[in-house]
A = this chain, B = another copy of it.
C-alpha cells in the first residue's frame, strides 16, 4: 500500500519551487532576460575548465574497469586521501583517509551525519534562519529538529534561546555558516562560544554532542575574509561539504563528511557511515565525479561575481531603506520585508517581475531571500525595478 505519510506531502507546496516555476513560465512569456529571478540557489558561474578536462581525459585514457567499476562504499581510496591531505594542509588538522567519507553532495553528507550521531527520538538543534530542507533531512531519520529563534540584529547565534533549548536529548547541533539564507558568516567568537557551551553540556549530560557543520558555502566568503572552520574549535565535529557551489557542480552530487581526528570513535565513524549507506541506498557518489573533484581539489570556480552582486544589492537595498544584514558570503541576501507579511510582500514584487522568496519556511517570517547567483548585468537592471516596486507599493515609508 502506498505510504500515506510521504503521499500527504505532495499537497504541501514548495514556495521556492512554485516561484521558480512561475519565473520560468513568465520568462517564456516576456523573455527570460526580463524576469529578475532571485528564487534559486543554482550557481551561475562556470565550472573550472580543469574539471571538464580531467573528466575528458579519464574517459579517453583510463581502462573501463578502473574508471567505471565499483568504488568502495566509503569512496575511492585515493580520492579520500586527496581530500584529507587538502584539508590537513589548509586547516592544520590531522585528517587521514580514514576520516573522509565521500557522499552524494551535502544532502548525502547530512543524511549520514544525522543517522550517525542520533537515534530516533533524539533532538537536533539548528538556528533560524535555516535551510528548509533540514526539516525532512532530520525528521525523516526519526530524530527531531528543534529550531532556535533568530537573532535578527546580525543573524549570529541567539545564545539565550539556545541555552534554554539544550537538554539531555540534544545529541547534535546543526550549523550552516556561511548561511543559507542570511548570507551571514559566523564570527570566530560565535563559534568559540558555541564550542565552549557544547563542551560544558557534554560534561553535564555525560554524553557526546556532535556538531554537524553544513559547509557548502565555505569557499564563498567576501571582503578577503576566511570563514572560521568549526572543526578547529570543537573536536566532535563532522564537517559536511559539497562541491556544488565552490565548483558549480550541483548536478554531479559530490561532497564528503570529514570526521575530526579527535572526535569520539573518530576511526570508526566513516566505517559506520558505510553501514548507514546500505539502508538508504547511497553506496557512493559517481566514480567520475569523485575522480573529477580530486583532480581540481584546491580550485574553485571564479566566485568573484557573487561578491560584486552582493555589493550592488546591499547598497541598493540599504539606500531604499531596507533593514538588511550585510552578507559575509554565499550568494544570498536576506532583507526584512516592507510589511509584516513577507508572503504578501513577495506577491506584490511579482507584479514587477521581481522573484523574491518569503522566508516563513526558513524560520524567519517577515523576511525574504534573494539568491543573487545571476548575471551581474541583470542585477544592475533589477535595481531600478526594485526602486519602482518599493516607491509604488510602499510610498509612505
- CA A3 to CA B118, docked complex, whole Å: 6
A1 adjacent to B207 (CB under 8 Å): yes
A286 adjacent to B283 (CB under 8 Å): no
Which residues does chain B contribute within 8 Å of A283, judged by CB atoms? 104-105, 107-108, 253
Minimum Cβ distance to chain B for residue A12 (Å): 9
Judged by a CB distance under 8 angstroms, whether A171 is at the interface is yes
Closest residue of B by beta carbon distance from A135:
B278
Judged by a CB distance under 8 angstroms, whether A192 is at the interface is no
- CA A54 to CA B387, docked complex, whole Å: 47
- CA A342 to CA B238, docked complex, whole Å: 42
Judged by a CB distance under 8 angstroms, whether A252 is at the interface is yes
B1 adjacent to A281 (CB under 8 Å): no
Within 8 A of B (CB), among A287-330: 287-289
State which of B107, B111, B275 has its C-beta within 8 Å of the C-beta of A6: B275
Q: A6-B275, A115-B3, A281-B280 are in contact. Are A252 and B286 (CB under 8 A)?
A: yes
Which residues does chain B contribute within 8 Å of A60, judged by CB atoms? 52, 56
Q: A10-B268, A117-B2 are in contact. Are A68 and B47 (CB under 8 A)?
A: yes
| Residues 27-55 of chain A, each 1 if its beta carbon lies under 8 Å from chain B, else 0 | 00000000000000011101100001101
Interface segment, one of A93-101, A215-223, A243-251, A347-355: A243-251
B282 adjacent to A281 (CB under 8 Å): yes
State which of B207, B276, B281 has its C-beta within 8 Å of the C-beta of A110: B281
- CA A276 to CA B70, docked complex, whole Å: 25
Minimum Cβ distance to chain B for residue A337 (Å): 27
Minimum Cβ distance to chain B for residue A61 (Å): 10
Closest residue of B by beta carbon distance from A292:
B288
| Count of chain A residues with a beta carbon within 8 Å of a chain B beta carbon | 79
- CA A64 to CA B247, docked complex, whole Å: 10
B279 adjacent to A2 (CB under 8 Å): no
Which residues does chain B contribute within 8 Å of A232, judged by CB atoms? none
Q: A104-B283, A140-B279, A279-B137 are in contact. Are A271 and B119 (CB under 8 A)?
A: no
Closest residue of B by beta carbon distance from A12:
B275
Helix, strand, loop or mixed for chain A's interface? helix
- CA A69 to CA B47, docked complex, whole Å: 10
B133 adjacent to A278 (CB under 8 Å): yes
B251 adjacent to A208 (CB under 8 Å): no
A6 adjacent to B272 (CB under 8 Å): yes
- CA A70 to CA B248, docked complex, whole Å: 10
- CA A64 to CA B137, docked complex, whole Å: 28
Interface centre among A5, A103, A107, A253 (most CB of B within 10 A): A253
Minimum Cβ distance to chain B for residue A89 (Å): 26
State which of B6, B46, B287 has its C-beta within 8 Å of the C-beta of A115: B6
Which residues does chain B contribute within 8 Å of A110, judged by CB atoms? 281
A2 adjacent to B251 (CB under 8 Å): no
A280 adjacent to B140 (CB under 8 Å): yes
B281 adjacent to A64 (CB under 8 Å): no
Which residues does chain B contribute within 8 Å of A109, judged by CB atoms? 281
Which residues does chain B contribute within 8 Å of A141, judged by CB atoms? 279
Interface centre among A1, A55, A171, A208 (most CB of B within 10 A): A1
- CA A275 to CA B140, docked complex, whole Å: 10
Closest residue of B by beta carbon distance from A271:
B10
Judged by a CB distance under 8 angstroms, whether A90 is at the interface is no
Which residues does chain B contribute within 8 Å of A44, judged by CB atoms? 65
Minimum Cβ distance to chain B for residue A380 (Å): 20
A251 adjacent to B115 (CB under 8 Å): no
Which residues does chain B contribute within 8 Å of A279, judged by CB atoms? 111, 136-137, 139-141
B286 adjacent to A137 (CB under 8 Å): no
State which of B59, B68, B249, B269 has its C-beta within 8 Å of the C-beta of A56: B59
A-B pairs, 6 with minimum CB distance: A140-B279, A111-B281, A251-B287, A46-B64, A136-B278, A280-B280
